[in-house]
Amino acid sequence: MLFGDRAKFIGIVIGLTFASLLITQQAAIFAGLMTRTFSFLLDVGLPEIWVVDPRVKYIDDIKPMDDNAFLRVRGVEGVQWAVPLYKGTLAVRTKDGTYQSCSIVGLDDETLMGGPRTMVSGDLSYLRRSGAVIVDQTGAGGKLAHLLPDGKSIPLKIGSEIEINDIEAVVVGICKVSATFQNIPVIYMTYSSATLFTPGQRQLLSFVCVKGKLGQDLHALCQRIELSTGLRAYTANEFKVLTFLYYLKYTGIPINFLTAVALGFLVGIAISGQTFYNFTLDNLRYFGTLKAMGASNNMLLRMILLQALVVAGIGYGLGVGTATAWGMYMGSHTQLSFRLPWHLLVFSALSVLVICFTSAALSIRKVMKLEPAVVFRS
């Protein structure tokens, strides 16, 4: 019956499409943004355990440790290898004289463990040269590019020179990294270079990255490291969750996105619910006719639910499709964080189903209570 009433059918589908679009889009941006909070962890990849100062609350909460801490960690039973890693933020002066904050990653000089996985040009080993740095592609072509007076910009390339903390450095490679939460350029160098570029600090070590021996229970190894060194050891996954939860708890991000998602949900219920209910009121005579002709409440219930399910499917498909197309377009043309894992698709589908069945519930109640005698009333 609903499909015959084109105006209401389209109205409900538009309501559900809008709700699905808003819920999926906002949740995907939220997921993308939250993934960026621990993108550094994903990029470094290899370590199974991250050892930090006990006061560290999340990955960007750097509390430098004693430079020899990694040697103490190496001595713990079950550790296959442990390397130092520096992470900090320094001001970089570009060729045109502007200053730009950059995320600096200092890699272990020997192993270069934690370096970028994808090199666009140059080679990771070039970092061992004096004053050498590798710059991420987005930063090299964007915030660190040389801006000409005519508005054009020249990206950094191998051989380009920049000043980090007033010390000259040479670009020896361009790499690809995951977008970061702060959305600032990422510069890789060796740990020893980092000690040169950073202003005089008593302690510099941000993390000790650890790989356990084959078959090691990582949680047990974490406990042994903590007992032996007095530092805090997290498995990679624990550190990721710790960071994620910190942003969830201490920033207004979730509330902002939850509000948008809730708004989509409520708008969906309001539009679809009202239209669905109006459709039922307009068709009460026909529901009454079906009842008089012997259609049971159960049969009518299934009929309404099937109609709700079909419009839910169409609205969901259109909404998710539009959100995905928008996300893919914006993701490739802007710095938009957009991540659409299957969990979000399920979440969005469930939300649309709840909207649809809530909308249908009002109609179902009306139809269930309808007296078939209504058919004889003029």
Partner 1 sequence: MNDPVAEKIAERKIAVHCEGVTKSFGVGNSAVHALLGIDLEVRTGELLMLVGPSGCGKTTLISVIAGVLRRDGGECTIFDQDYNRMNGDEMTSFRGANVGFVFQAFNLIPSLTTAENVATPLIINGMKPKPAVAKAREMLAQVGFDERMMGCFPTELSGGQQQRVAIARALIHSPRFIVCDEPTSALDGETGLKVMELLRKMGCVENRALLVVTHDSRIYKFADRIAAMEDGRITEIVDSSSKLKALSKQTI
Is 7 a binding residue for partner 1 by CB under 8 A? The answer is no
Q: For partner 1, which is the closer residue by CB, 123 or 371?
A: 371
Q: What angle, rounded to 10 degrees, do the helices at 253-282 and 6-37 form?
A: 170
Residues 127-156 that bind partner 1 (CB under 8 A): none
What secondary structure does DSSP assign to 294-353, as a single string? Answer: T--HHHHHHHHHHHHHHHHHHHHHHHHHHHHHHHHHHHHHS-------HHHHHHHHHHHH
Per-residue interface string for the shown chain with partner 1, residues 245-274, x marking contact by CB under 8 A: ------------------------------
Using CB under 8 A, which of the segments 2-10, 62-70, 109-117, 136-144 binds partner 1? Answer: 2-10
E-assigned strands of 94-142? 99-107, 118-122, 132-136
Q: For partner 1, which is the closer residue by CB, 131 or 372?
A: 372
Q: Which residues pair with 263 in a beta bridge?
A: none
Using CB under 8 A, which of the segments 115-123, 161-169, 284-292, 321-329 binds partner 1? Answer: 284-292
Is 286 a binding residue for partner 1 by CB under 8 A? The answer is yes
Of these, 148, 296, 325, 346, which contacts partner 1 (CB under 8 A)? 296
Of these, 72, 232, 240, 291, which contacts partner 1 (CB under 8 A)? 291
Is 161 a binding residue for partner 1 by CB under 8 A? The answer is no
Of these, 295, 314, 336, 353, which contacts partner 1 (CB under 8 A)? 295
Tokens of 225: 């490291």
Of these, 285, 302, 343, 365, which contacts partner 1 (CB under 8 A)? 285
Residue 14 burial class via C-beta count within 10 angstroms: exposed 0-12, middle 13-18, buried 19 and up: middle
Q: For partner 1, which is the closer residue by CB, 179 or 290?
A: 290
The CA distance from 51 to 235, in Å, is 9
The CA distance from 160 to 133, in Å, is 10
The CA distance from 222 to 231, in Å, is 10
Is 293 a binding residue for partner 1 by CB under 8 A? The answer is yes
Is 303 a binding residue for partner 1 by CB under 8 A? The answer is no
Is 183 a binding residue for partner 1 by CB under 8 A? The answer is no
Tokens 């809530």 -> residue: 358
Q: What angle do CA 99, 101, 103 make, to 5 degrees?
A: 145
Which residues make up the interface to partner 1 (CB under 8 A)? 1-5, 285-286, 289-296, 299, 371-373, 375-378
